[in-house]
């Protein structure tokens, strides 16, 4: 049975915001120390950052990079981490029970962001921090000089303002585990005060307010509604977070989770639209899915406890082939919802639930690296509505799904299609039909496929799962027929 992907150049969703290809670097485990930054490494550059890791990160071409946390930020005082390194205090991070040396701080991060061409997305501490501390940090970063905090930046060697345009008002403040967690109304007031003071300091910034960080929390969506009512016109984005996993070891079921990612985006957007249409907010607040990934194997007990150590092994999830399809599923969902999702950050980038993994001076690319690279290369343009006709199955928790999960981006006369074959055993023939324009040729295409859903990459076998060039395509009468192996992800430009 053939599967058809129906598209039309006039049936658009919206321009794909490049920031949906964002990342997240938290002071957590071996993400910053040992991952990105290690002056002792043979790979260290002039900043002490690992050249091998940065080269791999460059391939993913991240846009917005969120920093410094995460749960970490809710106990973080930025002043500890600027100025001469020998004067920076060593502090206890109670979120991850670790030791934070502050040897890598905001100035180093922002220097790295410049070199990597990342758009910095900084989160302020609304757990133990105050609106004033947040505002001071903004002055430190963005004001030219002539006042206390701006001059402090200059004294620390950064004459030019860092000009950080995107800021998050705390992290996951709805989560009972969060340092300083408070009820929605209290958070909303704190966020509103902070937002106002920050915009009085620099009116050109954009702000992300904390929405619900998981659909299974009892305050899901109610939290969002209350927060939007209070912050009213001060914020541009509402955050949502999503981590998924194959806890029941049922691959078909797991691959259908994309349905619930769609529902979470649509439900959260509905709250934003409702706030706008009932005049609670002056503008339509858009979505920032600023933490997303697969995270369930290294999510409990010792994986969360740094035991008072520096750079402990935490959240070191090892990804497999089935995760490749789910990572692609997240990206498909963001592209399909280009009208509402404007920012999305893969959590995280190195070692901690990440596409890149290090041990000493060695490194390998985890399975999920490949779909992100394949999509990111083809991310420019306008998202098209996708209509799939073809066989599928019914999942217990998520309802009906097509075997094909897809998205499409039109860029001038180039069409990129992103196809996921969720069928574990059968290949799939996908007819791509662009109703009002013939498809004439293939420009380039890559795919990742595997027969074993549990196949992983390791230091010993780093290339078990990787992307390859794809050329199994026939183009006839303006219709492209693409052959996909079972359990595969395809990205091609036609």
Q: CA geometry: angle at 341 spanning 339 and 346, to 5°?
A: 150
Q: Which is nearer to ligand AHR, 32 or 347 (CB)?
A: 347
Q: How far is the CB of 328 from ligand AHR (least distance, A)?
A: 20
Name the strands in the sheet holding 382-384, side by side, starting at the edge strand that comes first in the sequence: 12-15, 382-384, 404-411, 414-421, 488-493, 444-449, 468-469
**Comparison of 3 and 293: residue with beta carbon closer to ligand AHR:** 293
* Shortest Å distance, C-beta 174 to ligand AHR: 11
Supply the minimum distance, in Å, between the C-beta of residue 450 and ligand AHR: 26
CB–CB of 239/211 below 8 Å?
Answer: yes
By the criterion CB under 6 A, which residues form the site for ligand AHR? 26, 69-71, 171-172, 291, 347-348
135 and 87 Cβ atoms separated by less than 8 Å: no
The nearer residue to ligand AHR, 261 or 487, going by C-beta atoms, is: 261
Closer CB to ligand AHR, residue 48 or residue 245? 245
Distance CA 441, CA 229 (A): 50
Plot region of 261 (φ>0 → left; ψ -120 to 50 → alpha; else → beta): alpha
Smallest gap from Cβ 153 to ligand AHR, in A, equals 27
Tell me how far, at minimum, the Cβ of 268 lies from ligand AHR, in Å. 17
Nearer to ligand AHR, 63 or 171 (CB): 171
Q: Return the closest-CA partner of residue 405 out of 428, 373, 377.
A: 428
One of 100, 291, 317, 322 is an active-site residue; which one? Answer: 291
- Shortest distance in whole angstroms from residue 44 CB to ligand AHR: 25
Cβ proximity of 65 and 138 under 8 Å = no
- Rounded CA separation 82/107 (Å): 7
Give dist(CA 377, CA 368) in Å, integer: 15
Least Å distance, CB 69 to ligand AHR, is 5
A 10 A CB-CB count for 147 gives 12
Instruction: Return the HEC string of 35-91.
Output: CCECCCCCCECCCCEEHHHHHHHHHHCCCEEEECCCHHHHHCCHHHHCCCHHHCCCE
Question: Which one is catalytic: 108, 139, 172, 322?
Answer: 172
Q: Does residue 291 have an active-site annotation? A: yes
Closer CB to ligand AHR, residue 174 or residue 405? 174
Query: Between vectors from CA 118 to CA 376 and to CA 488, what angle results, nearest 5°?
Result: 20
Residue 348, preceding peptide bond in cis (omega within 30° of 0): yes
Judged by beta carbon, residue 69 or residue 105, the one nearer ligand AHR is 69
Residue 100 or residue 291: which is nearer to ligand AHR going by CB?
291
Helices (H), 289-436: 321-336, 369-376
CA distances from 319 to 228, 329, 334, 376, 456 (A): 36, 15, 21, 19, 6
Answer positive or negative: Cα dihedral of 345, 347, 350, 353: negative
Q: Say whether 398 sits in a helix, a strand or coil.
A: coil
Is 253 designated active site? no
Instruction: Name, in order, each residue with C-beta under 8 angstroms of 162's C-beta and a sequence gap of 6 or more.
Output: 107, 110, 120, 141, 142, 153
Q: How far is the CB of 282 from ligand AHR (least distance, A)?
A: 29
Residue number of the CB atom closest to ligand AHR: 70
Spatial contact of 56 and 49, defined as CB atoms under 8 Å apart: no
Task: State the catalytic residues.
Answer: 172, 291
């Amino acid at each position: 049975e053939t599967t058809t992907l129906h598209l039309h150049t006039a049936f658009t969703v919206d321009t794909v915001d490049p920031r949906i290809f964002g990342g997240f670097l938290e002071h957590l485990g071996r993400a910053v120390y040992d991952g990105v930054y290690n002056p002792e490494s043979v790979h260290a550059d002039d900043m002490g950052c690992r050249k091998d890791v940065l080269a791999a990160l460059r391939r993913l071409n991240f846009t917005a990079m969120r920093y410094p946390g995460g749960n970490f930020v809710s106990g973080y005082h930025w002043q500890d981490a600027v100025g001469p390194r020998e004067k920076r205090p060593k502090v206890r991070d109670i979120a991850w029970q670790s030791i934070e040396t502050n040897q890598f701080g905001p100035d180093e991060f922002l220097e790295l962001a410049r070199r990597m061409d990342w758009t910095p997305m900084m989160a302020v501490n609304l757990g133990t921090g105050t609106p004033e501390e947040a505002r001071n940090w903004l002055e430190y970063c963005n004001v030219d000089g002539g006042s206390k905090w701006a001059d402090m930046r200059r004294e620390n060697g950064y004459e030019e303002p860092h000009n950080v345009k995107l800021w998050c008002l705390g992290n996951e403040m709805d989560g009972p585990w969060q340092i300083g967690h408070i009820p929605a109304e209290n958070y909303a007031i704190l966020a509103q005060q902070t937002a106002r003071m920050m915009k009085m300091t620099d009116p050109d910034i954009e702000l992300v307010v904390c929405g619900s960080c998981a659909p299974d929390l009892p305050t899901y969506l109610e939290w969002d509604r209350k927060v939007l009512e209070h912050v009213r016109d001060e914020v541009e984005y509402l955050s949502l977070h999503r981590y998924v996993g194959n806890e029941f070891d049922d691959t078909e079921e797991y691959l259908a989770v994309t349905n619930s990612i769609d529902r979470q985006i649509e439900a959260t957007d509905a709250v934003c639209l409702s706030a706008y249409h009932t005049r609670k907010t002056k503008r339509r607040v858009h979505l920032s899915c600023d933490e997303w990934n697969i995270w369930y194997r290294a999510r409990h007990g010792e994986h969360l406890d740094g035991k008072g150590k520096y750079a402990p092994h935490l959240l070191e999830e090892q990804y497999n082939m089935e995760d490749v399809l789910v990572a692609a599923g997240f990206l498909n969902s963001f592209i399909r919802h280009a009208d509402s999702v404007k920012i999305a950050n893969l959590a995280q980038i190195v070692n901690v639930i990440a596409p890149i993994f290090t041990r000493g001076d060695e490194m390998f690319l985890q399975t999920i690296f490949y779909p992100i690279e394949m999509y990111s290369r083809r991310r420019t343009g306008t998202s098209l509505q996708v209509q799939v006709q073809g066989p599928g199955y019914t999942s217990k928790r998520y309802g009906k799904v097509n075997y094909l999960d897809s998205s499409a981006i039109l860029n001038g006369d180039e069409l990129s299609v992103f196809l996921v074959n969720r069928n574990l055993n059968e290949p799939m023939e996908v007819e791509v039909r662009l109703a009002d324009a013939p498809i004439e040729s293939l420009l380039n295409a890559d795919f990742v496929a595997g027969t074993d859903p549990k196949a992983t990459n390791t230091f010993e076998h780093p290339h078990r799962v990787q992307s390859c060039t794809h050329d199994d395509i026939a183009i006839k009468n303006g219709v492209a027929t693409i052959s996909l192996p079972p359990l595969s992800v395809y990205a091609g430009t036609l």
